[in-house]
Structure 1
């Protein structure tokens, strides 16, 4: 398989000077000597003109002679090449691909919406020009395929897969590295270098978003209640121990049960407790 090769062109300034000399010689020769041979000088100058090429920074020119690849000019400046060369300009600048969110299934099968930002550039001008039809379109299509492959390797979160250490929502660098690897393998055929790839949009699909939101809210409520009960039990235990140590009051099992019940209601209630004054004994 052919690879990119460098081409060293001639200086364009030297050749433009030569073309000007040919044109001036031909014009003055025809005007003064009136000999038709000077027409050849003018025709030669016209023939040389298509060979001039300007290569801007971070730009390259692929040279082709009658269907044969001759090389790539990556040096910046004003040059001259064979006028029969076909010249294709290929940008070497970094480009951004901000993909629209697409619907895919995660590892568990939940439909999610995911979009990525890809920073890429052309590394091998031969592959980008001759191995694919349109390398920009190739990057867009293969990026979507890579997103689907990466999304299927991880769950959205670990609510349903508690053993998952890496998820799309919290994976961070690990998910980005997998995405970059997936994209690099797919885009290598086109001579594309993946500079950066990361997720910029992630959400549940609309048909399950409401249910998943309620599940997350329920999980948060359960976790909060767990902490409240855990703290209430610790406070009741501490209260009983201090009452016993300071010998403030002697409580039998029934009194302890009543006290624990009252404290748990006060501490675990989601609203402020309303006190009820007992004018009798604890057993009434």
Structure 2
């Protein structure tokens, strides 16, 4: 189905014609011109059946005895094909909030995911005639696309080598919108935006995955601390050597590095021990 413009005439102009036909028929009947009066009355009834009122951001598909005659998008009052029926569809921008879906990510972990879809109808003929109920069609296809995209990514990439649902929300949302647009094109619907509104591990594995995330965070923090400690120890030795304040042999350098690393890497505050020498000879 391809949307096209229906034949129409400005309704206010048509009203003037109808008023003229109505009073003309009265005058003809009064003048006993019965046949002409009947014809005028029939014309009045025929044209009166073709009036349609279109609200803003609304389209009406005109149907004449089962045949699609076109759509009227311009708001106002119009005279269109007489004895025709119509089906209306809203052209407003709307939101659809999907339910929380329980799916498995690419690694097989059960997760909960939900999204909001912003869409509008751009082809009234397809929305009315190509699918039974375009709103229900959007709902089902949105959940299907969300499930399909969720199974292509891991919830989180602990190695930092690939895209993930949690770490690449913009890319995931763009892919959901792209796939959903492909699915909804048959219904004449344009997907304007898709965003994740809920993303979490399923309750049965949430505790275990939280411990895994905490362990990964601790390891990453320790790695950063060790790298910083090594750099600080190297800087201290280079500074002492450059200034010539203290001459350190290899054994003392090793001892200094060991003390610095233990002090910096330890998760507790260092307790200094002062050597005051022996009290007894």
- Range into which the TM-score falls when normalised by the shorter chain: 0.7 to 0.9
Alpha-carbon shift at residue 74 of structure 1 (Å): 2.1
Matched position secondary structure for 1:71: strand
Alpha-carbon shift at residue 244 of structure 1 (Å): 4.3
Mapped to 1, the partners of 2:170 and 2:240 lie a distance apart of: 53
TM-score, normalised via structure 2 length: 0.85
Mapped to 2, the partners of 1:241 and 1:188 lie a distance apart of: 67
Mapped to 2, the partners of 1:174 and 1:127 lie a distance apart of: 29
Does 1:55 find its partner at 2:54? yes
Residue 96 of structure 2 is matched in structure 1 by 97
| 1:133-172 equivalent positions in 2, closer than 5 A | 133-159=132-158, 162-164=160-162, 166-172=163-169
| 1:1-284 equivalent positions in 2, closer than 5 A | 2-26=1-25, 45-159=44-158, 162-164=160-162, 166-249=163-246, 255-280=252-277
TM-score, normalised via structure 1 length: 0.84
Alpha-carbon shift at residue 211 of structure 1 (Å): 2.1
Mapped to 1, the partners of 2:135 and 2:5 lie a distance apart of: 23
Matched position secondary structure for 1:114: strand
Alpha-carbon shift at residue 135 of structure 1 (Å): 0.3
Mapped to 2, the partners of 1:61 and 1:194 lie a distance apart of: 21
Structure 1 stretches lacking a partner, 5+ long:
none
Instruction: Please say which of residues 267-276 and 246-255 is displaced more in the overlay.
Output: 246-255
> CA 1:242–1:74 in 2, change beyond 3 Å: closer, same or farther?
closer
Aligned-pair Cα RMSD in Å: 2.8
> CA 1:14–1:249 in 2, change beyond 3 Å: closer, same or farther?
closer
| Number of residue-to-residue matches in the alignment | 277
Alpha-carbon shift at residue 234 of structure 1 (Å): 2.5
